[in-house]
């Protein structure tokens, strides 16, 4: 294995459940932007699964971008573009207009300002009805918070007080302010949740 390739064990556990949901919401063609791609393992798996789509991975961490490039090269996935070093809190993203945006396991390990930046930029980039997909652990009034997630919350706060599990109600309020409406909430394996938002008038 290329020493630049990073590995996230959770990717193997959640990727098929995520793909099953993405099959219902992604367009048949176009550019899909992934924010906070991390190791790049999701990007290459999605590229293999959806050969008619083009995937643009990104991450603010240069080491993650190196990992993404290494995984893409190893798997020889032609429809996964070279990674971009994008930061959700940056001023603007100088990128082509995507047909969909994915963001997996970023919201809880970043400051709230990153979520604000994500929605604001998605609102300026996406066309009407285009999907913004979020995945990760969230707090939700209708779903009992698993003990493991509460332990995870304490661990996150011990690493950075700005991090932590976000409440779906807060995500929905942010979505409303930036021109989105939540289409669905789907409970996923390992106490995670998928949220699908759509751009609207």
Distance between alpha carbon 175 and the CA centroid of its chain, in Å? 15
Dihedral (Cα; 141, 144, 147, 153), 10-degree rounding:
-20
Per-residue pLDDT of the chain (201 residues; tens, 9 = 90+): 566 777 666 666 789 999 999 999 999 999 999 999 999 999 999 999 999 999 999 999 999 999 999 999 999 999 999 999 999 998 788 899 999 999 999 999 899 999 999 999 999 999 999 999 999 999 887 666 666 777 777 887 788 688 889 999 999 999 999 999 999 999 999 889 999 999 987
**65 and 42 Cβ atoms separated by less than 8 Å:** no
Buried/exposed code over 169-193 (b: 16+ C-beta within 10 A; e: otherwise):
eebbebbeebbbebeebeebeebbb
Dihedral (Cα; 5, 10, 12, 18), 10-degree rounding:
-120
Residue 53 neighbours by CB under 8 Å, 6+ apart? 26, 27, 28, 29, 30, 31, 32, 46, 47, 79, 99
DSSP per position, 81-119: PPPB---TTSS----PPPSEEEEES-GGGS-HHHHHHHH
Tokens of 56: 């643009």
pLDDT digits (tens, 9 = 90+) for 79-122: 999 999 999 998 788 899 999 999 999 999 899 999 999 999 99
Q: What is the pTM of this model?
A: 0.92
């Amino acid at each position: 294995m290329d020493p630049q390739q990073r590995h996230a064990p959770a990717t193997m556990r959640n990727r098929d459940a995520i793909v099953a949901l993405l099959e219902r919401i992604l367009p048949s063609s176009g550019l899909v932007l992934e924010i906070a791609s991390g190791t790049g393992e999701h990007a290459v798996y999605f590229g293999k699964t959806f050969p008619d789509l083009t995937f643009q991975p990104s991450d603010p961490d240069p080491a993650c971008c190196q990992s993404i490039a290494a995984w893409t090269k190893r798997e020889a996935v032609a429809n996964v573009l070279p990674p971009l070093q994008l930061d959700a809190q940056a001023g603007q993203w100088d990128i082509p207009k995507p047909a969909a945006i994915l963001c997996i396991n970023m919201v809880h390990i970043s400051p709230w300002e990153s979520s604000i930046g994500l929605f604001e930029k998605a609102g300026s980039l996406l066309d009407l009805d285009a999907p913004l997909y979020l995945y990760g652990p969230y707090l939700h009034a209708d779903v009992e918070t698993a003990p493991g997630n509460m332990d995870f919350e304490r661990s996150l706060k011990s690493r950075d007080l700005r991090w932590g599990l976000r409440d779906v109600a807060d995500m929905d309020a942010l979505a409303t302010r930036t021109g989105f409406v939540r289409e669905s909430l789907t409970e996923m394996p390992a106490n995670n949740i998928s949220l699908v938002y759509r751009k609207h008038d």
